[in-house]
Every structure is written in C-alpha cells, then in structure tokens.
Amino acid sequence: MINDQETLNLLLENLSRFVRERLVPNEAEVAESDRIPGHIVDEMKALGLFGLCIPQEYDGLGLSMEEEVLVAFELGKTSPAFRSLIGTNNGIGSQGLIIDGTEEQKRRYLPRMAAGELIGSFALTEPDSGSDAASLRTTAVRDGDSYVLNGTKRFITNAPEAGIFTVMARTDPTIKGAGGISAFVVEVGTPGVSLGKIDQKMGQKGAHTCDVIFQDCRIPAANLIGGVEGVGFKTAMRVLDKGRLHIAAVCVGAAERMLNDALTYALERKQFGQALAEFQLIQAMLADSQADIYAARCMVLDAARKRDLKQDVSMEASCCKMFASEMCGRVADRAVQIFGGAGYVSEYGIERFYRDVRLFRIYEGTTQIQQLVIARNLIRRAGQN
Ligand code: COS
C-alpha cells in the first residue's frame, strides 16, 4: 500500500542519491575503521531514516510495509552496516512497543527513536537459546512495583549504541516454554545492566553486536510491554515476522548492487580478446542472478502488500527471508566468480559484500528456522481445511 506516491518518490530519490553519493564512497572507510562517521549519522537523522517505520503520531514517517520494502531495496545497495544502524529503530528495536506497547510506553520512547536520539535494540538470543528462542533463561521476578532481571543476552545488534532494550525474560518459571515469557523495556544506565566486549564478526564491520548482561537489574513494573505478562514470546514473533520481510528486501538491494558491480566489471575486463560479458558462461551467471533477484523482489512486494492488508504473513515472511537471503548468497558467490582473482582481493570491494551478506542467512531466524515456520504453517492450514 502506497500512502502518498509523491512523498514516497521524493524519499526514494533522496535516498538513492544519499546511498550513491554519501554511503557508497564511505564503505571502505567504515569497514576499515569499524565505525560509521558521525557526520553520516547526522545526515541519516536529517533524512528521517531512524523513524521510517515509526507511526507519524510519534514523529516517524509511518511508512507502510510496501513503502518500507521499497526503501530497503535502496538501502540494501550499500554496505549493510549503514542499514544496520537505522535497522533496529525501524524494526526489532521499536516494533515490540509499536505492536504491543501501552500508549504511555510509546509516547515515552518512540519520538526520540524516530529522531535517532535514542537507539533501540532487541534482546532475545542468549548463550544457550538461539533458534530455540522459547527456551530462554533470563528471569524477571516481580518485587512490589518492580521486576528484577537476571541473565545474559548474546549477539545483540546495536547494543553498544543502544539507549533502550526490548528484553524477553521469563516471568513464570513454572512454564518452561513460550507462555512463561514477557517482554520489557530496559533503559541503559539502569543499575545492573552491563555490556560485554564488541564481537569480532566475519563481516558487516561498522555494525556492532555484543552481550548484554542483567545482574539484579531492577526496573519499574510499568516497563512490562503492554502491561501483560506471558505474551512476550508472541510479541517477539510478531516483531520478527515484520523484521524478516525487511531483511528479505535488504537482500534484494544487496544482490542488485553485487550484480551491477559484476556486470560493470564483466563489461570492462577483457580476456581472450573480448569483454568477459561476451562469454556465454559469464552470461549464464549474470542471467541466473537477474532471475533470482526478480523472483525475490516480486515475493517481497507481494508479502508486503498482504501485510498492509492486515493479512497474517508469518509464512510469507519466512518464504521471503529464506529465498531472498539464499538468493543473495548465490549472487554474491557468482559475483566473486565473475571478478575472478579480483573478487578475492579487498580493494575491489566484492569480497567484503560476500562476507557481509553471509549474515542474512543466519540472523532474524536461520534458513532452517524459516523452513520450519513455513512447513508448520502449511500443516496447520491443511488441518483447518
Ligand atoms: N505471531 C504470533 N504468535 C506466534 C507466532 C507469530 N509469528 N509464531 C508463534 N506464535 C505463538 C504460537 O501460536 C504459540 O502460541 P500458543 O501457545 O498460544 O499456541 C507460541 O507463540 C509458541 O509458538 P511455537 O509453539 O511455534 O514455539 P516454538 O518454541 O516451537 O518455536 C520458532 C517457534 C522455532 C519458530 C521460534 O522459536 C523462532 O522463530 N526461533 C528463531 C528465533 C530467531 O529468529 N532468532 C533470531 C535472533 S532475534 S534477531
């Protein structure tokens, strides 16, 4: 659903120019320094990128899902680290509040997140609970007007930058699975919250993850998202449904960028007296990549439109995340192959993308978890017929 075509066109135009002229030229420096320069962050704020998906009544741009994926296609065309910085405020770091938060919770946090003054982060994964998210062990024990949190969260995106965390913790230890889990907002600076050292990742330098440790961390009971215990796992799953669609769109953008780079190289580089692009075996790789990208783009747009129509797109989001992230990996592999020796050397940039996009098949649910979600939905739907 496009709310306002003219405004959207303007946003996409500005964004496309920003990506081309400001982000792409800074990719190598960000990878080397493992840091996004402050002036780029300021420009992102000025463009409203931190509040793309935060409703207008809380000072965001209030994009629909279809508009959001169109924006993500553009943002995907540069190093994923840039998208990652604004990603949590628009996605997993704010959506728990947007979907299930109370009015007071929304008013307290969302406007500052939309402005980029406050970074939100999503704390679900733990050292012993990754794909099996419902087995998480962090506890939140009610004590008068407070909850006291204990536990460790792992690989938390933007934790070093975060001002607030959406934390999934077990409020009912007698329920081992999903039903015992509640979601909370925890502000950084609360006594008992500390961070581990920044993880040294394979790629996506400039985007940071680390452990978040809660040790007798006392938070107001009012920070229970939505004010209801026992529904935190469902909140997390709803947040991930949307996040998976967004990541799928980013994968489409990244694949388009890599194909474009590979095509440009194949047109310039000559071997055996002609451009690489003239060789049919190279053409096959270009063609397979283009068909892959086209398929993923159509899927993502279709699922986004269905979500805008308030349909349950849990299965479709998983289809998109699985297909688009695997597709992106295939395109990255072919791009390196087309670049040949240059594809393995850092100055050409394509090996960096190859490493960066590897994460798409893992975070916000591995390909195997998406398969599980898709199959379970199929089986459930068959049972309903
Ligand atoms: N929306 C709303 N509710 C949902 C839901 C969704 N998309 N998916 C599941 N639920 C509900 C179920 O309906 C069920 O509720 P009831 O008990 O009332 O029926 C409850 O949540 C538990 O669901 P389920 O039984 O399917 O839970 P499982 O423990 O089997 O786990 C998977 C489900 C594996 C799909 C889930 O743990 C998962 O997505 N894991 C990956 C986590 C992940 O993506 N981590 C990435 C890091 S966070 S960036």
**Same-domain check for residues 106 and 124:** no
The predicted pLDDT at position 107 comes to 98
**Same-domain check for residues 157 and 198:** yes
Domain boundary among 80, 98, 114: 114
3-state secondary structure at position 186 = strand
Q: Which of 261, 260, 255 is nearest to 296 (CA)?
A: 255
Q: 139 CA to middle of ligand 1, Å?
A: 19
288-342 pLDDT per residue, tens: 999 999 999 999 999 999 999 999 999 999 999 999 999 999 999 999 999 999 9
- Boundaries of domain holding 226: 120-231
Token output for 47: 């463009």
Q: 178 CA to middle of ligand 1, Å?
A: 8
Q: 153 CA to middle of ligand 1, Å?
A: 18
**Same-domain check for residues 278 and 206:** no
**Same-domain check for residues 310 and 365:** yes
Among 237, 364, 377, name the best residue to mutate to test ligand 1's pocket (greatest count of ligand atoms within 8 A of Cβ): 237
**Same-domain check for residues 360 and 347:** yes
Among protein residues, the one with the nearest Cα to ligand 1's atom 40 is 131
Pocket of ligand 1 (CB under 6 A): 92, 122, 124-125, 131, 133-134, 177-179, 233-234, 237-238, 240-241, 314, 363-365, 369, 372-373
CATH of the domain at 105: 1.10.540.10
Q: Is the pLDDT of residue 385 over 90?
A: no
18-42 pLDDT per residue, tens: 999 999 999 999 999 999 999 999 9
153 strand-pairing partners: 212
Q: Is 268 an annotated catalytic residue?
A: no
Domain boundary among 175, 198, 231: 231
Q: Which residues contact 241 (CB under 8 A, 6 or more apart)?
A: 313, 314, 317
The predicted pLDDT at position 326 comes to 98
Q: 171 CA to middle of ligand 1, Å?
A: 17
Q: Angle of helix 65-75 relative to helix 280-308, nearest 10 degrees?
A: 150
**Same-domain check for residues 263 and 140:** no
- Spatial distance between the Cα atoms of 316 and 299, rounded to a whole number of angstroms: 8
pTM beyond cutoff 0.85? yes
**Same-domain check for residues 225 and 248:** no
**Same-domain check for residues 238 and 221:** no
**Same-domain check for residues 94 and 130:** no
The predicted pLDDT at position 144 comes to 97
Whether the Cβ atoms of residue 63 and residue 52 lie closer than 8 Å to each other:
yes
3-state secondary structure at position 167 = strand
Q: What is the mean pLDDT of the chain?
A: 97
**Same-domain check for residues 348 and 375:** yes
**Same-domain check for residues 101 and 159:** no
Q: How confident is the model at residue 236 (pLDDT cuts 50, 70, 90)?
A: very high
DSSP string, 103-157: HHHHHHHHHHHHHTSS-EEEE--BTTBSS-GGG---EEEEETTEEEEEEEEEEEE
Q: Is the pLDDT of residue 98 over 80?
A: yes
For tokens 């063609």, what's the residue?
A: 287
For tokens 């949590």, what's the residue?
A: 88
Domain boundary among 45, 79, 114: 114
Q: Which residues contact 372 (CB under 8 A, 6 or more apart)?
A: none
DSSP string, 326-338: HHHHHHHHHHHHH
CATH of the domain at 227: 2.40.110.10
41-84 pLDDT per residue, tens: 999 999 999 999 999 999 999 999 999 999 999 999 999 999 99
**Nearest atom of ligand 1 to the alpha carbon of 157:** 49
**Same-domain check for residues 213 and 347:** no
CATH of the domain at 295: 1.20.140.10
Q: 31 CA to middle of ligand 1, Å?
A: 34
The predicted pLDDT at position 46 comes to 95
Considering its fold, how many domains does the chain have in total? 3
Interval 213-227 mean pLDDT: 98
Q: Is the pLDDT of residue 203 over 90?
A: yes
CA end-to-end span of the chain, whole Å?
29
DSSP string, 18-87: HIIIIIGGGHHHHHHHTS--HHHHHHHHHTTGGGTTS-GGGTS----HHHHHHHHHHHTTS-HHHHHHHH
**Nearest atom of ligand 1 to the alpha carbon of 130:** 45
Helices (H) and strands (E) in the chain, counts: 12, 9
- Spatial distance between the Cα atoms of 160 and 193, rounded to a whole number of angstroms: 12
DSSP state, residue 371: H
Amino acid of residue 37: P
- Spatial distance between the Cα atoms of 170 and 145, rounded to a whole number of angstroms: 17
- Spatial distance between the Cα atoms of 167 and 225, rounded to a whole number of angstroms: 9
Among protein residues, the one with the nearest Cα to ligand 1's atom 46 is 364
